[in-house]
A = this chain, B = another copy of it.
Amino acid sequence: MTPGTPTLEMVAAAAGVSRATVSRVVNGSPKVSPQVVDAVNRAIVALNYVPNRAARTLASRQAMAIALLVPEDIGRFYADPYFASVVKGITERLEPTDYVLNLLVSSSDPRHKTRRYLAGGSVDGALVVSHHAGDRDLIELSDIVPTVFGGDPTTMLGLRDRFYVDVDNVGGARAATRHLIRLGRRRIGTVTGAMDMHAATHRLAGWRDVMSEAGLDDTAVAHGDFTSYGGADAMRDLLARRPDIDAVFVANDLMARGALITLGAAGRRVPEDVALIGFDDSFAATNVSPGLTTVRQAADTMGWSMADMLLELLAGREPETRTRILPTTLVLRETA
Contacts and interface: CB of A to CB of B under 8 A. Distances in A.
Interface stretch (A13-21, A116-124, A188-196): A116-124
Interface in A89-122: 91-92, 95, 98, 100-105, 107, 113, 115-117, 119-122
Interface in A3-59: 5, 50-55, 57-58
Given A54-B54, A116-B50, A288-B288, A92 B63 contact: no
A63 B58 CA distance: 13
Nearest to A107: B95
B74 A78 contact: no
Given A102-B101, A102-B103, A121 B54 contact: yes
A289 interface: yes
A287 to B, nearest CB: 5
Interface centre among A103, A115, A116, A261 (most CB of B within 10 A): A103
A1 interface: yes
A178 B1 CA distance: 50
A319 to B, nearest CB: 20
Contact of A283 (B79, B102, B121): B79
B289 A264 contact: yes
Given A75-B88, A91-B74, A261-B289, A52 B101 contact: no
29 contacts: A1-B61, A1-B121, A50-B115, A50-B120, A51-B116, A52-B58, A52-B121, A53-B57, A53-B120, A53-B122, A68-B103, A78-B84, A78-B85, A78-B87, A79-B81, A79-B84, A79-B283, A91-B103, A91-B105, A95-B105, A100-B102, A100-B103, A100-B104, A100-B122, A103-B103, A228-B287, A257-B288, A258-B287, A261-B287
